[in-house]
């Protein structure tokens, strides 16, 4: 075991999300989740794949749910950089395309589906998943700040509702209904959310 890991244990210091060792642990966690599902994910397996002693991992994260939640937020492979296309509609289309890719392209799709199935069984994971979505919304906030500055949104619009509507339709179509994503799915979904269903008043 490397001296930097032993040092962290002696002082009770959890590695920062950006450290090399934490990334190795997070990558091992997500790889095993994609391969084996939540039931097959174990701290022992993560320890073997990452090369970090399992007692060290347990010192930093008390359960595999807590470990997976930390990996979701801290893993660089799940980083999100919102696009700046010059318009709210373009930015939301780019965001929705990234969500669709997450749900359809392995191994990210396997990670997302396994996490969704596990979140109701682990309080530790549920807490960290809420943190994950709060972190993602904070990263997406510049999209809505720019839209308000351009006059495309009013201050009373809740960005979370817009993101939930777009992410929700993607989850329903891809994961629950397992429907193929049509070529104009993204543009139609964003248009509907921004302009409504167009029903006559």
Give residue 73's pLDDT.
Answer: 87
Contacts of 105 (CB under 8 A, 6+ apart): none
Contacts of 57 (CB under 8 A, 6+ apart): 25, 43, 46, 47, 50, 67
Give residue 200's pLDDT.
Answer: 47
As given in the structure block, the two tokens for residue 171 are 């989850």
Give residue 17's pLDDT.
Answer: 54
Give CA–CA dist 140/79, Å, rounded.
11
Q: Can you list the positions of beta strands (E) in the chain?
A: none
Give residue 7's pLDDT.
Answer: 34
Give residue 194's pLDDT.
Answer: 93
- Does this chain's domain 3-74 share its CATH topology with 81-195? yes
Indicate the pTM of the whole model.
0.79
What CATH number was assigned to the domain covering residues 81-195? 1.10.357.10
DSSP 72-133: HHH-GGG-------SSHHHHHHHHHHHHHHHHHSTTHHHHHHHHHHHTTT-HHHHHHHHHHH
Give residue 117's pLDDT.
Answer: 84
Neighbours of 75 (CB within 10 A): 18
Give CA–CA dist 124/1, Å, rounded.
27
Give residue 16's pLDDT.
Answer: 53
Give residue 128's pLDDT.
Answer: 87
As given in the structure block, the two tokens for residue 166 are 């777009």
Domain 3-74 CATH (choose: 3.50.50.60, 3.40.190.10, 1.20.120.80, 1.10.357.10): 1.10.357.10
Give residue 19's pLDDT.
Answer: 80
Give CA–CA dist 149/178, Å, rounded.
38
CB 175 within 8 A of CB 113: yes
Q: What is the residue extent of each domain of the chain?
A: 3-74, 81-195
Give residue 9's pLDDT.
Answer: 36
pLDDT tens figures, 67-94: 999 999 888 777 778 899 999 999 999 9
CB 100 within 8 A of CB 171: no
Which of the residues in the chain have pLDDT under 50? 1-13, 200-201
């Amino acid at each position: 075991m490397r001296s930097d890991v032993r040092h962290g244990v002696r002082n009770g210091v959890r590695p920062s999300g950006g450290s090399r060792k934490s990334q190795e642990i997070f990558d091992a966690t997500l790889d095993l989740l994609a391969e084996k599902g939540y039931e097959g994910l174990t701290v022992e397996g993560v320890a073997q794949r990452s090369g970090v002693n399992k007692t060290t991992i347990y010192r930093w994260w008390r359960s595999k749910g807590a470990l997976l939640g930390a990996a979701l937020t801290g893993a660089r492979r799940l980083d999100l950089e919102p696009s700046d296309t010059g318009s709210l509609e373009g930015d939301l289309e780019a965001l929705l395309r990234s969500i669709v890719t997450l749900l359809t392209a392995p191994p990210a799709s396997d990670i997302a589906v396994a996490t969704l199935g596990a979140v109701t069984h682990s309080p530790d994971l549920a807490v960290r998943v809420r943190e994950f979505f709060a972190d993602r919304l904070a990263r997406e906030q510049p999209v809505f700040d720019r839209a308000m500055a351009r006059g495309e949104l009013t201050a009373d619009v809740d960005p979370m509702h817009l993101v939930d509507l777009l992410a929700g339709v993607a989850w329903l179509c891809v994961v629950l209904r397992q429907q193929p994503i049509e070529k104009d799915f993204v543009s139609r979904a964003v248009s509907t959310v921004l302009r409504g269903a167009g029903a006559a008043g």
